[in-house]
Amino acid sequence: MWPDRRLLDLFKTEHPIVLAPMAGVMDAELVIAVAEGGGLGSLPCAMLTAEKAREQVNIIRQRVAAPINMNFFCHEAVEPDPAREAGWRQRLTPYYQELGLDPATPVTAANRAPFDAAMCAVVEELKPEVISFHFGLPEPALLKRVKATGALVLASATVVREAVWLEQNGADIIIAQGADAGGHRGMFLTDKLAEQVGTFALVPQVVDAVKIPVIAAGGIADGRGIAAAFALGASGVQIGSAFLRCPESKVSAQARAALAQASDESTVITNVMTGRLARGVANRVMREVGPISPDAPAFPHAATALGPLKTAAEKLGKVDFTNLWAGQALPLGRELPAAELTRKLAHDAQARLRLMAG
């Protein structure tokens, strides 16, 4: 009873609902629950070692017979720039002082590595049915190896130009990520924040520009949003924020409380947390230093100097320096077990689509 069956045929899932991969706030548990609800579970691997990714996939395989999407970042790795790092530390020094920390203490570098040959070998070994990339695609030789495993390749586009590029360069399915979306913007051919397109405007324009199926992402959090995405020509949806408050997510109690209090006006797009543009609930450092700061080092190095502040503040019960990635539809999310939420989303969307069909 879905108006477009292209994704169901490709993924072999019951519903064309993809759980967004959400690095840092989820693991196999949420993937399994969404798969049990009939959706496609996505495992965010951008912050995992090869061993951890293997362990997580094995847990999922043991618990459900369902396709898996492994998700990776493919940004261009940039070496830390000592002068910028020092300037950033200086900008954050008042917070270090407030928390009784020494800004000169060496800190562990932020861990978000791009997809590389070692991860590609893990993919060849584990053979996930689906692979999704954020920030473009890996270099052609790596992409060729990924495609040789038989995996379907998904990638995010934030403007029509990126969608066309992804189709021409080997993606099988486009994720059209509107500016309403939580988390990092998948931008890779543009860095112009003011020109980022909302989901409602982006999805139909991407659908018109490419031949491959399009998944709508950003601000979709209930049956109405899913039905709207289909009306705009999408073949499915990718949903993140609506699942954040499910018991299976790994969102901390403090962050959960901040997310629960958020309204439609609570999120902003910032570069201060990691050096790349991302949408989240505004925390203290985003408000006071950002939301956009020219001082933030390149991705992911801005996160390095924030690490000790985050740890120290969290010990005091504060989320002043914690990533609270979430999209504009966050308040529509429900605190339900994720399998139940997935079924409810599918049910409500189908009911609305039936109404629309008259």
**Segment interacting with ligand FMN, rule: CB under 6 A, options 55-63, 74-82, 213-221, 309-317:** 213-221
Q: Is 273 in the site for ligand FMN (CB under 6 A)?
A: no
241 vs 304 by CB, closer to ligand FMN: 241
For ligand FMN, which residue of 25, 202, 273, 353 counts as binding (CB under 6 A)?
25
Q: Is 69 in the site for ligand FMN (CB under 6 A)?
A: no
DSSP helix/strand/coil, 157: strand
Q: Is 122 in the site for ligand FMN (CB under 6 A)?
A: no
For ligand FMN, which residue of 22, 119, 176, 226 counts as binding (CB under 6 A)?
22
**Segment interacting with ligand FMN, rule: CB under 6 A, options 60-68, 160-168, 182-190, 312-320:** 182-190
What gap in Å lies between CA 320 and CA 334, rounded to an integer?
24
199 vs 304 by CB, closer to ligand FMN: 199
Q: Is 41 in the site for ligand FMN (CB under 6 A)?
A: no
26: number of Cβ within 10 Å: 27
The residue type at 44: P
Q: Is 37 in the site for ligand FMN (CB under 6 A)?
A: no
DSSP 119-137: HHHHHHHH--SEEEEESS-
198 vs 233 by CB, closer to ligand FMN: 198
**Segment interacting with ligand FMN, rule: CB under 6 A, options 91-99, 178-186, 201-209, 293-301:** 178-186
Token readout for 258 is 């901040």
Q: Is 219 in the site for ligand FMN (CB under 6 A)?
A: yes
Q: What is the DSSP letter of 350?
A: H
Task: Judge whether 232 and 198 are in contact, CB under 8 Å.
Answer: no
What gap in Å lies between CA 203 and CA 227, rounded to an integer?
13
Q: Name the minimum Å distance from CB 38 to ligand FMN.
A: 18
Report cis status (omega within 30 of 0) of the bond before 291. Answer: yes
DSSP 46-114: TT--HHHHHHHHHHHHHH--S-EEEEEE-PPP----HHHHHHHHHHHHHHHHHTT--TTS--PPP--PP
For ligand FMN, which residue of 37, 240, 300, 308 counts as binding (CB under 6 A)?
240
96 vs 270 by CB, closer to ligand FMN: 270
Q: Is 188 in the site for ligand FMN (CB under 6 A)?
A: no
Q: Which of residues 308-327 bind ligand FMN (CB under 6 A)?
A: 325-327
Q: Using only C-alpha atoms, what is the Rg of the chain?
A: 20
What gap in Å lies between CA 263 and CA 256, rounded to an integer?
14
Residues lying near ligand FMN in the complex (CB under 6 A) are found at 20-23, 25, 44, 46, 71, 132, 134, 177, 180-184, 217-220, 238-241, 325-327, 329
